Amino acid sequence: MDWLYMMMPISGVNIFWPGLIILGLGVGIIGGFFGLGGAWMVTPGLNILGFPMAFAIGTDMAQMAGKSLISTMRHGKFGNVDYLLGIVMLIGTVIGMEIGAQMIMWLERIGQVDKVVRWFYVVLLTIIAWIVFADVAKRRAKEREAREKNQEVDKLESGFDWGKRLQAIRVPPMVHFKHAGVYCSFWLPICVSLFTGWLAGILGIGGGLIRMPALVYLIGCPTHLAVGTDLFEVAISGLYGAASFTYKGRTELVAAIIMLAGAAVGAQIGVVATKYVKGYGIRIVFGMAVIGCLFSVLFRQLAAELPSMANLFTVLATIDVLGLVSLTAIYITIRMLKGAKAEIAAKKRAAGN
Amino acid sequence: MTTLRRLGVAVCALPLALLAPSLAMAAGGKSAPIAIVADTRFIDNSLMHWWAQMYNENHMAFALMTMVIIPVLGVILGVVADFFMRMTGIDLEKRELAEK
C-alpha cells in the first residue's frame, strides 16, 4: 500500500494523499456553500494527516486561494458576486488584518496571548451563532405577524434589519452596489471590513467565518450575494496570506495542489447547492457549523487549560471537526443532488410537452 | 424573544467569565524563529528534487512560483470543472434570489 503515501518534498513527511483529496473535497463543498475559506477545518485536518503545524497553515492558505477562485468563478456565473463590493471590502480587510496582526505582535511582547486569543474566538463564535438563530426567530415572528394580518413578508426580508439601518446613514460618497442591491455610504463596507479584518488579524484566521455574516447582517446583502462576494475576497486575501507564508517557507505546494483536485469537484457541489437552498437554509446550516467550530475551539482550549484531561479534549476536538465536516458536506451534497435531479426531471417534462 | 435574549446573554457571559483567569495569568516569553531546510537526499523524483532545491536556495523564487501556480491552476481546474458541469444539464446561470 506504499503507493497511497507520498513524500512531501519540503516538510519531508510521508502523507496519505487520498486523505488530502478527501479533505479538499469536503472543504470545497462547505466553502462553496457558505463562502468560507475553511481554515478552521483544514488546518487541524492537515495536522491529523501528519503535517507539522508550521506547514499546515501555509498549505491551507495556498489551497484556500485556489479553491476560492474556483468557487468564485462558479458563483460569478450565477450572479452571486458583487465585485465592486468585494474590492471595497478588501481595502478595509487588508488594513484591519494588518492592525490586528500588529496588535497581536504587541500583545506577544507583553506576554503569552494564545489562551486569550482562543477564548476571544470562543466569545466571537458564540455571538455569531446567537445572531444567526436570533435572526431566524425574528424572521419567523415577522411571518407570524404578517399571517395574522393576512399579509406576506417580502422574500428578501431578514429578521434583523441592522443592514437597512446602517444603509440609511448617508455619509458621502454614496455608492450603489448593483449586484448586491445595496445603496450605502462608501464608509459602511470600509468600516465593516476594517472591523472584521481586525478581528481576523487578531485571531489569525482568514475571516470568512466573520465576514459572511457581517455582509448579511451589517451590510444588508442577500445571503447568496454574501457567499459569492466573500469567496471573491477570500480568494484574494488567501493569495496574499499564501504569499506571506510561502516567503517564510511554510507552504507545501504539492499538498495544496493535490487538495485542489478534490476542492475543484467539491466547490462545484457546494456552489450549485446554493441554487436549490434559500437564504435562510444557508444561514441555519451556517449557524450550526459555527456551533460545531465553537465546540472544537472550546475543546482545544480546555485541553490547554486542563493538562490532565488534554488527551480526552484533543480527541473530542478531532471528532467534532471530522464529524462536522463529514455531516455538513453530506447534507450539502444531498441537497445539491436532489435539487439537480428535480431540475433535470422538470426540464425533461417540459421538453416532452 | 425575551427568553432568547436572556439565553444569548448567558451564553455570551460564560466564555467571558472563563476568559478572565487567562487574561490575569497571561505571562511568558516569545518563541524563537525556526529555520526549516528541505532534506533533498531522499527525493527520487527529479521535479520534486528541483522544487525542494529551489526552496532551500531561493525563497523569493519559491514564493513567486507558488503565487503563479496557485491561481493558474485554480482557473484551469475551474474551467475543466465547468466543462463537465455543463454536461449534467443543470442551468448554471440562473438562480432564484430569495431568503425564504
Q: Are A314 and A300 in contact (CB under 8 A)?
A: yes
Residue B84 is part of which domain span?
3-99
Query: CB of A328 within 8 Å of any CB in chain B?
Result: no
pLDDT surpasses 80 at A4: yes
**Amino acid letter, residue A219:** I
ipTM field = 0.84
E-strand spans in A119-190? Answer: 174-177, 182-185
Mean pLDDT, to the nearest integer, of A204-217? 89
Query: CB of A346 within 8 Å of any CB in chain B?
Result: no
Over chain A, what is the mean pLDDT? 90
Percent of chain A scoring above 70 in pLDDT:
99
Query: CB of A150 within 8 Å of any CB in chain B?
Result: no
pLDDT for res B13 = 52
Identity of the residue in A66, A155, A272 whose CB atom sits nearest the CB atom of B90: A272
Give the closest-approach CA distance of A191 to chain B in angstroms.
Answer: 24
Residue B3 C-alpha cell reads as 427568553
Q: For chain B, what is the domain count?
A: 1
Alpha carbon distances (Å) from A211 to A146, A174, A196, A221: 31, 21, 6, 11
Question: pLDDT tens digits for A263-313?
Answer: 999 999 999 999 999 999 999 999 999 999 899 888 988 888 888 998 999
DSSP sequence for A177-233: ETTTTEEEETHHHHHHHHHHHHHHHHHTS--HHHHHHHIIIII---HHHHHHHHHHH
Residue B57: Cβ-neighbour burial (10 angstroms; 0-12, 13-18, 19+):
exposed
Give the closest-approach CA distance of B56 to chain A in angstroms.
Answer: 9
CA atoms within 13 A on the CB side of A321: 23
Question: pLDDT tens digits for A233-270?
Answer: 999 888 888 888 888 888 899 999 999 999 999 999 99
pLDDT for res B14 = 47
Residue A175 C-alpha cell reads as 455608492
Question: pLDDT tens digits for A97-137?
Answer: 889 888 887 877 777 677 778 788 889 999 999 999 999 99
Query: CB of A306 within 8 Å of any CB in chain B?
Result: no
Cβ contact A254–B15 (<8 Å): no
Residue A61 C-alpha cell reads as 492558505
More confident residue, B58 or A331: A331
Identify the CA nearest to B17 among candidates A118, A119, A127: A119
User: Which residues are CB-contacts of B79 (< 8 A; sequence separation ≥ 6)?
Assistant: A73
Identity of the residue in A7, A243, A305 whose CB atom sits nearest the CB atom of B63: A243
Closest alpha carbon within chain B to A59: B66
User: Residue B15 and residue A280: Cα distance in Å, rounded?
Assistant: 27
pLDDT for res B5 = 58
